[in-house]
Structure 1
């Protein structure tokens, strides 16, 4: 099968069709709002990819979405429905941020320690749900969803009543020391940044990305490559992939589901805590702000991205950049055309709804297909072996009589 033919089949698949239909329906909403859809989408595209600042903002917005999406995909791929990445990322950000802000010491020691604490706290919060399922039979889908609320309110209480800096206008902690922050790939006040401005221009994509995106981009790339390696080259990746497809088969193969769930939730929660923490110390962010992570809605956007990409790391990267571009572009569209940025949420929701409909429609058609010769349980399985089915007319009532005959012939 040629590459062009496979690409054509993919274009006719559920994902591209769902995206196109969502954009068309979004255009209808723009018409209702009195905005030309072509102008609206042109402003959206230009705001997200057409300028250096827009590209930098899109990548910065995509990093936490993709990272948390990888954390969700690790669990979903193993058949573990982890809906608690919001709480895991929030507590990881809180714990790591406390270490980064309040623990004294050189940055060379504080930064790795803060990362370790954030990952450990996120993993521990995820393990609570795994233990509840293994010991008490509480479904992880339910426990992870409910555990988001104590994580959210505990973080808000701690920041508001114990970490709040009185001199700040925000309900927020003290600032992270500059040496502890994840700086931009190229610090804006460095000589190299000045060279980039003189060579490529101050607003060029190269200059904007290198001086407007912090080192969490490099960490994200390493995590994506690590996820691909684990899925394809490790025993855990093989077992988790099979468990997501057929848990009974894996159980009969000697894999214990309890330890697998523990490992999966620890890994998923740890990754969520890592990317939540990088939102705190990654420049230009400098504080623990009450409710900031909840308001960004990154965890639930990452869930949509994971579902759209079918748990594949490369697909999550593509879908994450796509959703981030919609969010950044809708902000630009709102500034230029006066249209509400909520159109981004409408398009995202439409993509998922249409994708679910497109995937489920063939199954509904198959179930609703009429049976001509009787009920499904009365239909014999077609025999493909020419020895067992010598003619099409023999399939049916003659098939049981053919089986002993074949057995005798084989004994001879």
Structure 2
């Protein structure tokens, strides 16, 4: 079962008060990883003697980095045997930023191969027979298992929000390009978005704030003037009954907390944009991963090979049509946020599926990745069997602080309703 999660806010407060030194903070994480990772398999590599800066806003904060992001001092395998032992010469931009801010890179977290659907060995800390989700499998599981207080992941379809939901942690996909993606093994560059994980909304917002230096720490919100919309799309009917009930409970809790609640119907342009996501993703995967396919097809996973081949076969005119559909969807999305401040949807169709080969379905996430809007998984409810169910909050592009502020208030409201 999942362990006691580490609170980033509590660790930083202990450091600021002098109760914990950076090396003591990092040792807590190293000890937890030594005790738990043989079962969870969240890390593909653990640093033997990680550097522990004593200065910087993230001094003493041990983090995991998804293994599609380059690290100069650790292997970077992109979840693939093809790159076993590969050592880049430099860090990815987001890793270099974390180091400059004082973070300790504890290790590389497991990703699916090239961040697609061919799963790695990581298990769900809540039930080892269930998937942790993907592709940021290890990042979410390491947080849920209490091994580290913060982690970096990435999302092309639903690879931050979905594993966060399955593992019961906060996963934050910022507005597109708020965090740098240079030094990532790209799958679909117009979609690939670096994201963050922590135990709670307060913790992931603090991580984003300390990492970037941007004012992303939540502000108090006034529920009576905050418009929260329940987003009704055709996909909602396909969600599991317990997830549908969780969304209903979220709506009830938001209303009880005083938020202005409304129903929002999906514009047709957004429905078409969601369908265009696969074309955009696969075409770009054909471009990004085609060179790997040409040299190493026999060593690549079957799902990955099929998708890259499909992408290579897509005519440019079809890709351009998909780009136009995405542009129209973004226009419709901007209009939506003239009427509402935050949208709520399921973070996934249901709880984590049983088995480790299927990492779950991104149907509730990929539209918002394509739109470039900030989203966050609010860890809040559970199934009767005890598996987590998350609610996804979405805000207008660039309104990341507003998203995190409202999500933190909603997280508290959901907790009060049980």
Which TM class, normalised by the smaller chain length?
under 0.3
Q: Comparing both structures, which one devotes a greater share of its residues to strand? A: 2
Q: Structure 2 length as normaliser, TM-score?
A: 0.23
Q: Structure 1 length as normaliser, TM-score?
A: 0.23
Larger RCO (CA under 8 A, 6+ residues apart):
1
Q: Comparing both structures, which one devotes a greater share of its residues to helix? A: 1
Q: Choose 1 or 2 for highest CA Rg.
A: 1
